[in-house]
Structure 1
Amino acid sequence: MAWHQPRSLDEALEQLRERSPRIVCGGTDLFVNAQHKSYESEQTDWLDIRRVPELHLTRRTEAGLEIGAAVTAAEIWGSDEFRVVPALQQAARIVGGWQIQNRASLGGNVANASPAADMVVPLVAYRAEVRLAGADGTRSVPIADFISGPKATQLRERELIASLFIPARMLEVPQVFLRHDQRAATDISIVSVALLLQGNGSEIEWGIAAVGAAAPKPFVLSAEEEQRWSGELTAAKLDELSDLYTRRSSPITDVRASADYRRALVGTYIKRAANALLANGL
């Protein structure tokens, strides 16, 4: 086993080209499951990208906000520069305990592609892009396409996640992240919702909700269906919307909850998220 710790993005990409090592950043998901995977740590070369400075950069431009893949959950919820994406901050604040939050990276949460990954859900609602760097150059993929299913992504061989990009339209919009778990913010989500509503009072200009842990990957409605958020958000309309998200869900039954329970929670949390934003004023 070799453990490589590059000190620049160019060095990291060079080592990817030469050795095809297993990429690790915080390792909070990877090492927990290592004994159940086809690889064994004694036989695997590792590329630790935590010390690559380019992957820790955050940059806001007129186009939007770019967040380096190695930025940790603790840095996201603890820094004022991320106040423009409060739903992401709220999700980062409940990623396990504080020990996990100090190591878990945004890029790692995306790469792990768990259907219940907390920080992924706001990113899906934001229509974020995954920016990738590899031996063949760079490319950007919408996060909804990048995550193809449970623990499955479009990441290519000899490629790494460099950053996540959030369009300017999604910044500083009223938004909230809520989740249901078993042990008050230390367990895996049973259902989660990230909701953005732009409007004035109960009159909504546009809205986007993403739902996690209720399908093979976090999901949103189609652009046409999302137009139903527009206009006056009455109780009856919110009932219709919550029913629509419930019908779109396809949860599983596991040790934490049944599929029927999860499906019922989807509608409940869509309503809770909307009412929370309306109560705070838009």
Structure 2
Amino acid sequence: MLMLEYLRPDNLEDALLTLTEQPCTLLAGGTDFYPARVGKKITENVLDLSGIRGLRSIQETEEGFLLGALTTWTDIVDSDLSSAFDGLKQASKTIGGIQTQNAGTLCGNICNASPAADAVPNLMALDAEVKLKSLRESRSLSLEEFILGNRKTAIKADELVSGIFIPNPGKNAVGNFKKLGTRSYLVISIVMVGVVVELNEEDEVMELKVAVGACSPVAKRLRLLEEDVVGQKLNSIEIQPRHLESLQPIDDIRASASFRKIVTPELLKRAIQGVKQK
């Protein structure tokens, strides 16, 4: 009979040692892990990280902010993070119900690597870096380097994500998030947009960072749009077809590719111009 192990270490060193000894599926909040296995046998060793208290934290440093691997959606909402994080806070409020927000983790969301992961566009717009740790080394990858495709990441078998680092945003930066779904809550996004914008006193764009999710295997930064809008008045921004050429929307149960192409420009304008209403 196949013998499986469920392990719940209370420190990071023991967790990393376990990963060198045997393959394990990592468990944090469990809000994706358990629903995916309803009615099925668990066929893998499970390494539950929830006992490592040091991984649940939000720390500010001189260089930026470190969000620990067990930081929950509720932790993000309740934090005093600056207005640049407003989009991430908005997304945190739309993920599942309150129970899911209390248990689910930000890092679990990125490790699940769903094309419709609501945190990802916001984190990309914040230039997020993923902190990876093993007994061999510690390394950092940009979120764009970390998520390789649908349900695929660059994490190695003996590694875990220890946190997400956000470099200091501009002091006047404001974040925003817009998603389109069949309802406002408890819904997987058809299209979503995360932005971080800095304006001058004349409402001209000094800097824009924007990413679109659910329109490609991995959320995409729209760097051409970011370049084109610098110096433009916020209310005069227009989204051109060439700005969206990197997107690869598909037909699925939620919407067609053609519908996604139609609604994305409008959602982008609402997300970008909506920072002024915050």
Common fold, TM-score beyond 0.5? yes
Match of 1:264 in 2: 262
Match of 1:63 in 2: 63
Paired letter, 2:133 = A
CA–CA distance in structure 2, aligned partners of residues 186 and 242 of structure 1? 31
- Answering whether residue 169 of structure 2 is matched by residue 169 of structure 1, we say yes
Partner residue of 1:10 out of 13, 19, 24? 13
CA–CA distance in structure 1, aligned partners of residues 258 and 117 of structure 2? 20
SS at structure 1 position matched to 2:77: helix
Q: Which runs of 5+ in 2 are unaligned?
A: none
Match of 2:111 in 1: 111
Paired letter, 1:261 = F
SS at structure 2 position matched to 1:232: coil
Task: Looking at secondary structure, tell me which structure has more helix per residue.
Answer: 1
Q: Alpha-carbon deviations, 1:199-258, whole Å to 9, x = none?
A: 124211111111010111110123x6522121023655x22x353443332111111111
Distance 1:225 1:255, change over 3 A: closer
SS at structure 2 position matched to 1:272: helix
CA–CA distance in structure 1, aligned partners of residues 106 and 23 of structure 2? 22
Instruction: Quote how far apart the aligned CAs of 1:33 are.
Output: 2.2
Instruction: Quote how far apart the aligned CAs of 1:265 are.
Output: 1.6
- Give the alignment's TM-score, normalised by structure 2: 0.92
CA contact (8 A) 2:92 2:101 kept: yes
- Answering whether residue 33 of structure 2 is matched by residue 30 of structure 1, we say yes
Paired letter, 1:153 = T
Q: Alpha-carbon deviations, 1:39-67, whole Å to 9, x = none?
A: x41x3211000111221122111100000
CA–CA distance in structure 1, aligned partners of residues 70 and 63 of structure 2? 21
Paired letter, 1:146 = F
Paired letter, 2:175 = Q
Match of 2:45 in 1: 45
SS at structure 1 position matched to 2:245: helix
Match of 1:207 in 2: 208
CA–CA distance in structure 2, aligned partners of residues 92 and 82 of structure 1? 15
CA–CA distance in structure 2, aligned partners of residues 243 and 197 of structure 1? 21
CA–CA distance in structure 2, aligned partners of residues 150 and 171 of structure 1? 34
CA contact (8 A) 1:17 1:158 kept: yes
Q: Alpha-carbon deviations, 1:98-123, whole Å to 9, x = none?
A: 11111111110010000110011111
- Give the alignment's TM-score, normalised by structure 1: 0.91
SS at structure 2 position matched to 1:33: helix
Runs of 4+ in 1 over 4 A off after TM superposition: 81-84
Match of 2:181 in 1: 181
Q: How many residues align?
A: 274
Match of 1:136 in 2: 136
CA–CA distance in structure 1, aligned partners of residues 101 and 230 of structure 2? 36
Match of 1:78 in 2: 78
Paired letter, 2:112 = N
Instruction: Quote how far apart the aligned CAs of 1:275 are.
Output: 2.0
SS at structure 2 position matched to 1:262: helix
CA contact (8 A) 1:3 1:46 kept: yes
CA–CA distance in structure 2, aligned partners of residues 255 and 109 of structure 1? 21
CA–CA distance in structure 2, aligned partners of residues 52 and 242 of structure 1? 47
Instruction: Quote how far apart the aligned CAs of 1:163 are.
Output: 0.2
Q: Give the percent of matched residue pairs that are identical in Structure 1 and Structure 2.
A: 32
CA contact (8 A) 1:242 1:268 kept: no
Distance 1:158 1:234, change over 3 A: closer
Distance 1:67 1:278, change over 3 A: same
CA–CA distance in structure 2, aligned partners of residues 25 and 82 of structure 1? 26
Partner residue of 1:254 out of 249, 252, 255? 252
Stretch deviating more after TM superposition (252-261 or 169-178): 169-178
CA–CA distance in structure 2, aligned partners of residues 70 and 100 of structure 1? 13
CA–CA distance in structure 1, aligned partners of residues 245 and 149 of structure 2? 19
CA–CA distance in structure 2, aligned partners of residues 6 and 209 of structure 1? 38
